């Protein structure tokens, strides 16, 4: 065939035609992104190649798509130029010249591009003058009074003459105004999509919205659908909204999220119709899809001092229909460890009753059986406790309750039975902004303090009170410009404890204070810091303890991390803190970050190892040490 006076054999023509598209920058990065996202030539060029006629169709479609992108940024007098040239290939030099995308002969010309050559498509945008907002009109809906905005509504609307006539802002102004109206109780309020008039002479865009307020509305009756095991009365008590209150979508959504956060439901939805009830209120329809009632989990961990621990947990959710949770756990402990003399167990049943008495107040109860074969003592115990946990605000919570414990303890070949009654009281503060305790904190402070008045009621009565306090703080090196957020963090922890009212040997061994292990001083076995019986590795325990830890945490790539740390602590039989022999341990660790928290592996060595102390310790667990 003959094309523009040149003879090209049909077998040499490229069909389908491969091509590459280039968008020339306009100098406006946001506009370039919008043009790039609007172009079919760019988005489809990596798909299967098309014929010259189909490629011409893409080019023609792109003109309107790209003009729309320009206009969305207020460039109503702009233009688009698309040219096509032969980019060449292995079979020879490119055909000289280029063709405009609107040329009616473009398909025939592209058929002359030899096989193996790519077509080079170039897009150039000429934005021109950016139009500005001209006259803004708010028209009342049919039968409504004239529209007058109050100060809050004017602030929400935020559309003024002189602003760039960008479609996103023009549309968003109507949406934010409607949101502001509904937040004031106008449940049926509506703001139409704006009408627009282009004024080329002044480079302005006049816009008009139709606004309907409707009446101020209160919430009407609530309907609960989909509840199978959950009592509607519990949902009604739990909700943070009630019939008769002002209709506000934000409060309705917060109430929905609060119910969803109970963990009872796989899905929670809330809707209302477009008409009011006969009394002028707005009924709400809640739809629930309840979650699984039962679940099974596994638990495990390992350290060289306490050995391994492994077990299973079975959970029954929504036990009585009011979000109660029963959890049964069975653990085998002491699977080889330098602080253990044999296998032990920990069996317990936990019952949680949420919203006990009032919102943000839970009741918890536990029945537990324990056997520990520690070098410090051997213990078999049965305990029961019940307590109230109250959330004071988003940072503070307090707890109080009662506990009884019947136990038998062997220490240095002496067997004793104890019956202990105690009234634990604690307060905790968390300013880290981290809701999940397994998620590593990167800033803020945590505080915890407790006092536990106790009485040992066997073979005479002895009274004592255990007092402990812990503070930890975290500092992100981003604040100094040394790293990206959350990548490099310094962490400190300090703990102090004291027992008042009785001497060391008047206190049951399991109630005394100890240090050593991952919770206090790493590098020393569990309960390996403090006074010991002469010529043994058996810890005595004490009435005063203090410990401190420092860590440098470094995130590496996406899923890995490294930690360096140093710990120090001491235990004494004196009631005055900061007495005794300070023991120091140091080490390093690795982290692997999973969706549920980091997997922790730490190795520590003692700096000043006592007689019969371990030479090193290894700790494996989930979550950071503190």
Q: What is the pLDDT of residues 59-68, one digit of tens each?
A: 999 999 999 9
Q: Read out DSSP for 233-298?
A: HHHHHH-S--TTSBP-HHHHHHHHHHHHTTS-EEEEEEE--SS--TTS-EEEEEEEEE--SEEEEE
Instruction: Name the one residue in this structure whose structure tokens are 């096509």.
Output: 84
Q: Read out DSSP for 532-569?
A: B-TTSS-B--BSEEEEEEEEEEEEETTTEEEEEEEEEE
pLDDT in tens, 354-396: 999 888 899 999 999 999 999 899 999 999 999 999 999 999 9
**CA angle, residues 197, 200, 205, in degrees to nearest 5:** 35
Residue 155 contacts by C-beta under 8 Å, 6 or more apart in sequence?
Answer: none
pLDDT in tens, 431-449: 999 888 888 999 999 999 9
Mean pLDDT for the chain?
92
Distance, CA of 42 to CA of 28 (rounded, Å): 18
Per-residue pLDDT band for 6 (boundaries 50, 70, 90) equals very low
**Lowest pLDDT segment from 46-50, 97-101, 396-400, 597-601:** 46-50
Per-residue pLDDT band for 534 (boundaries 50, 70, 90) equals confident
**Lowest pLDDT segment from 314-318, 328-332, 611-615:** 611-615
Give the domains, in start order, of the chain with CATH numbers.
19-126 (no CATH), 132-212 (3.10.20.310), 218-290 (3.10.20.310), 424-622 (2.40.160.50)
Task: Give the per-residue pLDDT at 9.
Answer: 41
Residue 148: pLDDT over 80 = yes
Mean pLDDT value of segment 333-342? 88
Distance, CA of 32 to CA of 460 (rounded, Å): 84
| Beta pairing class for 219-225 and 282-290 | parallel
**CA angle, residues 369, 525, 376, in degrees to nearest 5:** 50
User: How many Å from the N-terminal Cα to the C-terminal Cα in the chain?
Assistant: 80
Task: Give the per-residue pLDDT at 7.
Answer: 36
Per-residue pLDDT band for 15 (boundaries 50, 70, 90) equals low
Strand partners, 524: none
Query: From the centroid of its chain, how far is CA 524?
Result: 35
What long-range pairs does 584-590 form, CB within 8 A, spacing at least 24?
584/521, 584/523, 584/608, 585/521, 585/522, 585/523, 585/524, 585/617, 586/523, 587/522, 587/523, 587/617, 588/562, 588/563, 588/564, 589/562, 589/563, 589/564, 589/565, 589/619, 590/560, 590/561, 590/562, 590/563
**Lowest pLDDT segment from 5-14, 28-37, 193-202:** 5-14
Residue with more model confidence, 420 or 339: 420
pLDDT in tens, 464-501: 999 999 999 999 999 999 999 999 999 999 999 999 99
Q: What share of the chain is helix, strand, coil (3-state, %, to 5)?
A: 15, 45, 40
Query: From the centroid of its chain, how far is CA 78?
Result: 44
Residue with more model confidence, 114 or 490: 490
Task: Give the per-residue pLDDT at 8.
Answer: 40
549: nearest Cα among 614, 467, 491, 599: 491
Task: Give the per-residue pLDDT at 14.
Answer: 58
Tell me the torsion sign for CA atoms 556, 558, 560, 564: positive
Ramachandran angles phi, psi of 222, nearest 5°: -105, 135
Residue with more model confidence, 364 or 612: 364
Task: Give the per-residue pLDDT at 10.
Answer: 40
Mean pLDDT value of segment 177-188? 96
Q: For residue 277, what are the CA distances in angstroms to 178, 220, 222, 245?
A: 22, 7, 12, 15
Distance, CA of 288 to CA of 425 (rounded, Å): 37
pTM for this model (two decimals): 0.75
Residues 74 and 170 sit within 8 Å (Cβ to Cβ): no
Strand partners, 401: 387
Task: Give the per-residue pLDDT at 11.
Answer: 37
Task: Give the per-residue pLDDT at 316.
Answer: 97
Distance, CA of 175 to CA of 157 (rounded, Å): 8
Residue 308: pLDDT over 70 = yes
The DSSP letter of residue 27 is S
Query: From the centroid of its chain, how far is CA 414?
Result: 51
Q: For residue 129, what are the CA distances in angstroms to 62, 74, 200, 207?
A: 21, 8, 10, 19
SS3 for 165-180 is CCHHHHHHHHHHHHHH
Residues 353 and 237 sit within 8 Å (Cβ to Cβ): no
Helix (H, G, I), strand (E, B) or coil at 444: strand
Residues 572 and 580 sit within 8 Å (Cβ to Cβ): yes
pLDDT in tens, 213-234: 999 999 999 999 999 999 999 9
Q: How many CB atoms lie within 10 A of CB 83?
A: 17
35: nearest Cα among 95, 96, 162, 124: 124
**Lowest pLDDT segment from 130-139, 272-281, 533-542, 563-572:** 533-542
Mean pLDDT value of segment 307-328? 96
Mean pLDDT value of segment 333-358? 92
Token pair in block for residue 121: 């498509």
**Lowest pLDDT segment from 5-14, 15-24, 136-145, 376-385:** 5-14
Per-residue pLDDT band for 1 (boundaries 50, 70, 90) equals very low
Alpha carbon dihedral 372, 373, 379, 384, in 10-degree steps, equals 10
Distance, CA of 598 to CA of 346 (rounded, Å): 25
Strand partners, 354: none
Mean pLDDT value of segment 249-253? 97
């Amino acid at each position: 065939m003959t094309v523009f006076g040149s003879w090209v054999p049909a077998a040499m023509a490229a069909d389908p035609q491969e091509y590459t598209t280039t968008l020339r920058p306009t100098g406006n990065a946001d506009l370039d992104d919008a043009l790039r996202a609007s172009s079919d030539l760019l988005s489809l060029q990596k798909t299967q190649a098309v014929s010259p006629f189909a490629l011409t169709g893409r080019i023609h479609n792109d003109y309107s798509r790209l003009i729309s992108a320009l206009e969305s940024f207020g460039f109503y007098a702009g233009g688009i130029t698309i040219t096509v040239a032969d980019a060449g290939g292995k079979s020879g030099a490119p055909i000289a010249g280029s063709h405009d995308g609107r040329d009616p002969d473009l398909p025939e010309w592209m058929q002359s591009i030899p096989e193996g050559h790519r077509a080079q498509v170039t897009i150039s945008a000429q934005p021109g003058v950016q139009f500005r907002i001209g006259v803004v009109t708010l028209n009342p809906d049919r039968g409504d009074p004239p529209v007058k905005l109050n100060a809050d509504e004017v602030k929400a609307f935020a559309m003024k003459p002189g602003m760039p006539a960008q479609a996103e802002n023009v549309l968003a102004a109507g949406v934010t105004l409607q949101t502001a109206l509904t937040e004031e109780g106008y449940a049926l309020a509506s703001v139409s999509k704006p009408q627009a008039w282009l004024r080329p002479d002044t480079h302005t865009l006049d816009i008009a919205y139709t606004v309907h307020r409707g009446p101020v509305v209160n919430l009407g009756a609530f309907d609960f659908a989909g509840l199978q095991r959950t009592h509607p009365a519990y949902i009604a008590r739990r909700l943070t909204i009630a019939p008769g209150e002002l209709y506000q979508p934000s409060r309705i959504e917060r109430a929905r999220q609060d119910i969803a956060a109970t963990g009872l439901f796989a899905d929670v939805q809330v809707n209302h119709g477009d008409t009011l009830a006969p009394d002028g209120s707005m009924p709400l329809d809640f739809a629930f899809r309840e979650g699984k009632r039962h679940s099974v989990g596994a638990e495990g961990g390992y350290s060289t001092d306490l050995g391994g621990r492994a077990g299973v947990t079975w959970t029954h959710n929504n036990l009585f229909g009011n979000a109660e949770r029963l959890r049964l756990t069975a653990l085998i402990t002491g699977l080889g460890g330098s602080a253990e003399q044999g296998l032990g167990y920990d069996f317990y049943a936990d019952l949680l009753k949420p919203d006990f008495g009032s919102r943000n107040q839970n009741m918890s109860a536990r029945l537990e059986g324990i056997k520990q074969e520690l070098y410090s003592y051997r213990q078999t115990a049965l305990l029961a406790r019940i307590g109230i946990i109250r959330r004071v605000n988003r940072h503070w919570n307090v707890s109080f309750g009662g506990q009884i414990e019947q136990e038998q303890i062997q220490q240095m070949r002496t067997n004793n039975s104890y019956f202990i009654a105690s009234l634990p009281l604690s307060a905790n503060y968390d300013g880290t902004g981290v809701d999940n305790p397994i998620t590593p904190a990167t800033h803020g402070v945590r505080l915890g303090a407790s006092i536990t008045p106790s009485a040992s009621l066997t073979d005479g009565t002895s009274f004592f009170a255990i007092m402990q306090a812990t503070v930890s703080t975290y500092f992100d090196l981003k604040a100094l410009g040394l790293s990206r957020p959350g990548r490099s963090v310094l962490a400190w922890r300090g703990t102090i404890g004291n027992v008042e009212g009785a001497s060391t040997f008047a206190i049951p061994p399991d109630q005394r204070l100890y240090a050593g292990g991952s919770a206090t001083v790493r590098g020393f076995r569990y309960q390996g810091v403090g006074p010991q019986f002469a010529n043994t590795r058996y810890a005595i325990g004490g009435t005063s303890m203090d410990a401190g830890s420092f860590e440098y945490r470094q995130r590496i790539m996406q899923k890995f991390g490294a930690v360096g740390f140093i710990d120090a602590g001491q235990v004494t039989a004196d009631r005055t803190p900061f007495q005794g022999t300070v023991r120091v341990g140091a080490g390093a660790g690795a982290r692997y970050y999973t969706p549920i928290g980091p997997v922790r592996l730490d190795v520590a060595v003692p700096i000043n190892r006592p007689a019969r102390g371990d030479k090193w310790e290894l700790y494996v667990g989930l979550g950071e040490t503190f």
